[in-house]
Amino acid sequence: MTAINLSSPFASLRRHPGHLLQIIGAHAVLIGYTVLALFPVWLVTINSFKSRKAIFGQPYALPNASTFDPIGYATVFQRGNFPLYFVNSLIITVGALFFIFWFGTMAAHALAEYNFRGNTLLGLYLALGIMVPIRLGTVSILRLIVSLGLVNTHLALILVYTAMGLPLAIFVISQFMRQIPKELKDAARVDGASEYRIYLMVLPLVRPAIGTVMVFNMIPIWNDLWFPLVLAPSEATKTVTLGAQVFLGQFVSDWNAVLASLTLAALPVTLLYILFSRQLIRGLTAGAVK
């Protein structure tokens, strides 16, 4: 009769079957949520390669020889001016993320490093920006953009998205910067480093937090439909999500083109998420033990 090796990784599970049930239950919930989240993406992607009849007749089936039809992608590039929409979304997203990174890290460094009067109050004020949706101020934002003469410009959306993303960026990054040993920065000052040099030295140490903030801001900026529709609806400044609305009519909708444009719009975000997923997970789990 073979004895159970208590040093094996499964020994504790054999001794505590309740713990095994908890692990199985947790994984079942996570797998179920993953399937639920990915199902709409999978449904849009497979139907973008089907004919209109197959989309409504066999929505859950994979495309085959009789149902495969790439007419949606051809329509997107011929009628929708998709390359222009893609470039507009890229300019707006990259521009907003740049300013969020620049202003957010500098403000977070100031809050974490310097104890001045109103430090805590300012941090709470910025935290309120996470709780209050920016869309509540759409009318005031539109009036401000009109008065500045920035309607139908990339800069209008970049400024709005920067304001939308800064509260979360400052709040998250400042918490990470507070965990950096003060002795490290004091040693740099003794060596003659300026405050800007110390700021640049700190940035690589909070890279997981920066990666997390960038991902959390990139996805809503790229997928946003509200502010492009309100502030920049012209053909020259349309984003990918707004451009997809071209194929939705009052009486007839080109669902092939709609699904194809949504698939193409989701592709860059999916690739960037895969590339930065490790930084995202590190940023979410860093400091969990503390």
What CATH number did the domain enclosing 92 receive?
A: 1.10.3720.10
Residue 1: its pLDDT value, please? Answer: 45
When pLDDT is averaged across residues 198-224 and rounded to a whole number, the result is 87
Residues 6+ apart with CB under 8 A from 220: 164
Structure pTM?
0.80
Residue 156: its pLDDT value, please? Answer: 94
- Residue 188: pLDDT over 90: no
Whether residue 136 lies inside any domain: the answer is: yes
Range of the domain at 164: 74-285
**Count of structural domains, the chain:** 1
* DSSP notation for the chain: -PPP-TTSTTHHHHH-HHHHHHHHHHHHHHHHHHHHHHHHHHHHHHHTTB-HHHHHHSTTSPP-TTTB-THHHHHHHHHS-HHHHHHHHHHHHHHHHHHHHHHHHHHHHHHHH---TTHHHHHHHHHHHHHS-GGGGHHHHHHHHHHHT-TTSHHHHHHHHHHHHHHHHHHHHHHHHTTS-HHHHHHHHHTT--HHHHHHHHGGGGHHHHHHHHHHHHHHHHH--HHHHHH--SGGG--HHHHGGGGB-SS-B-HHHHHHHHHHHHHHHHHHHHHHHHHHHHHHHTTS--
Whether residue 34 lies inside any domain: the answer is: no
In this structure, the number of other CB atoms found within 10 A of the CB of residue 255 comes to 17
Structure tokens at 168: 């979360």
Whether residue 179 lies inside any domain: the answer is: yes
When pLDDT is averaged across residues 218-237 and rounded to a whole number, the result is 90
**Can you tell me the distance from the alpha carbon of 288 to that of 290, in angstroms, rounded to the nearest whole number?**
5
Residues paired with residue 248 on neighbouring β-strands, in sequence order: 253
Whether residue 164 lies inside any domain: the answer is: yes
Residue type, 63: P
When pLDDT is averaged across residues 114-137 and rounded to a whole number, the result is 82
Whether residue 5 lies inside any domain: the answer is: no
Residue 290: pLDDT band (50, 70, 90) is very low
Between 29-33, 97-101, 191-195, 245-249, the lowest mean confidence (pLDDT) is in 245-249
Whether residue 124 lies inside any domain: the answer is: yes
Whether residue 4 lies inside any domain: the answer is: no
Residue 96: pLDDT band (50, 70, 90) is very high
| Polymer length of the chain | 290
Cβ 54 vs Cβ 34: under 8 Å: no
Cα atoms found within 13 Å of the Cα of residue 205, Cβ hemisphere only: 17
Whether residue 177 lies inside any domain: the answer is: yes
**Can you tell me the distance from the alpha carbon of 147 to that of 159, in angstroms, rounded to the nearest whole number?**
14
Residue 275: its pLDDT value, please? Answer: 73
How large is the greatest C-alpha to C-alpha distance in the chain, in angstroms? Answer: 85
Tell which residue, 57, 68, 30, 61, has the closest CA to residue 43: 61
